[in-house]
Structures are given as structure tokens and as C-alpha cells.
Amino acid sequence: MLAAVSGEREAYERSFGVAPAFRIGIHGGDVIVSEQGDAKRSIGIYGDAINIAARMEEAARAYDVRCVISETVAGVLSDRAYVRAIGWEQVKGISAPIAICKYAPR
């Protein structure tokens, strides 16, 4: 996704006067998914994985990087060439700190 947006940066700037900028936090794990509402339907996603991913996004801001992934995710990547350990995050409701990494292709 980062590469796709970067590759289209000039087109976005030409069409809209600005290119998208964002930070990402990525973690994996079990979640609970539920359909909610009667008149207005929505999908709810809950679980520690969602909470931890949100903290990864906050860590991306704190470390001034575009993408932070948990070591859990980094550990299953087949290519870690763009992964660098950057620290630990304490997540509310999780007893042990989570190891975090920067993912920065190119």
C-alpha cells in the first residue's frame, strides 16, 4: 500500500493538490466479529489484536515512522529486509510489553 500511494503521488497532487499521508499499525491475532444494529447495520471487530494494532499506530506517530508492526507479525514475514526493531510498547490491558518494529520499504 505504501508503494502504491508513493507511485501515484504525482497523480494525486495533480488531481487533488495533495497526496495521501498516513501512519499504519499492524498486529495479528484472534478477533471477534459481530454484525450490529437493526435499521443501520455495521460490523464490530473486537479483541486484543485490535487494541494492540491501535497502539502500533500510536507508536508510529511517536517514533515518526509510517508503519509499525508488532514483532509477532515481523516474525512470520518471509522477507525481513525492511524490518528494524525500534522498541517496546506497554499496551493497556496486556500484561507484557509488546516488541515493535519499523517497516520501511525503500
- Domain residue limits at 90: 22-103
Helix (H) or strand (E) holding 16: helix 9-16
Q: Is the pLDDT of residue 6 over 90?
A: no
> What is the per-residue pLDDT across 26-41, written as a single tens digit (0 to 9) for each?
999 999 999 988 888 8
Please name which of 104, 96, 100 lies closest in space to residue 26, comparing C-alpha atoms: 100
In a domain, residue 50? The reply is: yes
Give domain status of residue 94, yes or no: yes
Q: Beta strands 32-36 and 42-46: pairing type?
A: antiparallel
**1 in a structural domain:** no
**Cell digits of residue 71:** 514483532
Indicate which CATH number applies to the domain containing 77.
3.30.70.1230
Q: Number of structural domains, the chain?
A: 1
The reply to whether 91 falls in a domain is yes
Q: Residue 89: inside a domain, yes or no?
A: yes
| 4 found inside a domain | no
106 — pLDDT class (breaks 50, 70, 90): low
Query: What pTM does this model have?
Result: 0.76
Residue 12 pLDDT > 80: yes
**What number is the average pLDDT over the span 70-79?**
91
